[in-house]
Structure formats: structure tokens, C-alpha cells
Amino acid sequence: MILVTGGAGFIGANFVLDWLGESDEPIVNLDKLTYAGNLANLGQLKGDARHIFVHGDIGDRALVEKALATHRPRAIVNFAAESHVDRSIHGPAPFIETNVVGTFSLLEQTRSFYTALAPSEQASFRFVHVSTDEVYGSLGPDDRPFSEATAYAPNSPYAASKAAADHLARAYVHTYGLPVLTTNCSNNYGPRQFPEKLIPLMIHNALAGKALPVYGDGSNVRDWLYVGDHCAAIRTVLERGRPGETYNIGGKAERTNVDVVRTLCRILTELKPGRDYASQITFVRDRPGHDRRYAIDAGKITRELAWKPRESFESGLARTVRWYLENTTWLAGVTSGDYLKWTELNYPVEATS
């Protein structure tokens, strides 16, 4: 059995579904169910005895201690995090509480559990800490992609909180011998992503006939990683990674934001014709401290663990659009009044061009 934290969120839910689609090993899924944690993501597992859901916070030490003592997992995969830059700009406190204090609490409870294991159980136990490329800061147009040796230089409260969590994870390896492995991934996209992030937001607005808001001039560059490829990489790290190591996970798909939106519009035109989606693109005021470029060098995980992404950006995006077109009820269910208020706050109606 393994314990997954944040397993009702976007990446976590996809990981849980993929895991149980390929294995009969049970999962204990601990999730706080904030706005982005959605049990509807896991609806197909209703009644499945392999999926044990625990509602709670990684910062609740008594709850985590009980879950570890009851289920005795052989591994922990930590997805639990506040994860959106824009929200961290408007309200950084929850990011510090969950990403820093929560991760510290989870590491402490895991250390206590690990220390009491038999030597043979300790030898096979793993803790995978899932992080982001944003901890590395911003790249210039001609800079080499981020590697595992790149110095940390976070530029947003979100990135700073994840950087702090990464440093704690590293410290628990070197100070306490806890077998932690850290992964730093590029921008994920795919099914079940809450529509505050770029791609699901654009799909939602395009289908609704609304403006497709693109920050600044749209030239900010990100490396895009299909969520299924990310989940496969995490399984690989869990199975074959070396404790104490960091593995960068990228999709080999650098794109400007505006190119992402234009590609999405072309796919929508093919799959759901009848509207000029590209005409809905609107440039809006840039967000504060917006990093210009992220790019991941995933050479280490490819060389050492033989992982590489299966999806190209175009194939992964087409799969993503199809999923949203086939799951409009899910999309309607997560676009609540709170979401609409958030959209108004982060994407003001006035256009810059």
C-alpha cells in the first residue's frame, strides 16, 4: 500500500487513476478538499476497495500519525500543495501554511514512522516529494534549460513556498536519513485540471464564447508536460530512483503562451467547428513578477531511469481538449461563483491591445 497526499487534485487524481489502472496495490488518499481538490475527479473509483480516501490536512499531525499507523504504507507520494501563482500573489498565507508548514509536519510524522520500521522495511521505504520548475526562477531567451544543479531563485510567493519545501525535503535526507526523492516538473496540462490554469481556462472560455485572456504580449515561454507522462515519471522515480536525488521532469515542448492558445483554438475548430475561436484572444495587463521563460533539462531522468514523455504537445493537447468536450458536466460543476470572482480579479476586462 502507498499513501498519496493531495490525491483529489489535478495531478494527484490522475496519478491515483493511472496507478489503479495498472496495479492492484491499494492507495490511501489523503486530501483536504480545498477548491481544487474534487472527489468528482475520482468518481470512477466509487466502491473500489483499493482506494481508501481520508479527508484531512497534511498539517494535522494526529491524523497523519493515525493514517501511517493504521495503513503502514511502503511509500508516500506528496502532491499536497497550494499551486497557483496568481492566488499566491493575492493571498500568500495559505501557500506558506500548506507548502512549508504542512510539508514540514508531513516530514516529521514520516520520520517518526520510518524510525520505528524494521531495517528491511526501511530499506524499501520511499518518500517522493513532488515540486515545480518555478523554484529555479526565470530564464533568458538563450539560457540553458534548468537542470538539477540550477541554483534556486524563486520569484513568486508560490515558488518561494515550494523552494522552502524542497529544502526541507533535502534536509531530512541529509540530517535524518529519510529516503526522500524530489521531482521538479514543468507546466502540466491534461484532464481534470481546475480552470484557473491557462489551458482549461481557455477551453472553458472558448466554449462559452468569452474572451481568451492572455497576459501581457503572450510571449512568456513554458515547457509543457502532459499529466499522464508526469504520472509515469513519478512512478518510475518511486520504483527506480535513488533516495536523496532530484529528478527534473519536462515535456520537451517549449511554447509561448499565445502559441499555446492559438494551437488550442485550431484543435477546437477541428473538433467543435462553428466559431472563430482565435478571434476571442484578448491581451490583458500582465501579472506582477511574471517570469519570462521556464525550460527543463530532463536528461538525468532519461539517462538514469529510462523515462521520456510519450506525448508531443500537439497530441497531448488534442487528448486534453477531447476530454473537456466529453466532460462538460465536470467543467460546469467546478466553475462556481468563487471561481468566477477569481477570474474577474486576475483577468481584468480591460485589454492592453
Asked if 339 and 205 count as a contact pair (C-beta separation under 8 A), the reply is: no
Q: Please indicate whether residue 25 is annotated as part of the active site.
A: no
Q: Give the H or E element holding residue 299.
A: helix 299-305
- Amino acid occupying residue 322: R
Nearest one of 127, 51, 135, 153 to 95, comparing CA atoms: 135
Q: Please indicate whether residue 176 is annotated as part of the active site.
A: no
Q: Strand 254-256 and strand 221-226: pairing?
A: antiparallel
Q: Which of 31, 82, 86, 134 is catalytic?
A: 134
Q: Which of 31, 86, 114, 158 is catalytic?
A: 158
Tallying the residues shown for the chain, one arrives at 353
DSSP-assigned letters across all residues of 192-255: T--TTSHHHHHHHHHHHT--EEEETTS--EEEEEEHHHHHHHHHHHHHHPPTT-EEEE--S-EE
What stretches of 115-174 adopt beta strand conformation (E)?
A: 126-132
Q: Please indicate whether residue 239 is annotated as part of the active site.
A: no
Q: Which of 57, 82, 86, 133 is catalytic?
A: 133
* DSSP-based three-state secondary structure for 49: coil
Q: Which residues are catalytic?
A: 133-134, 158
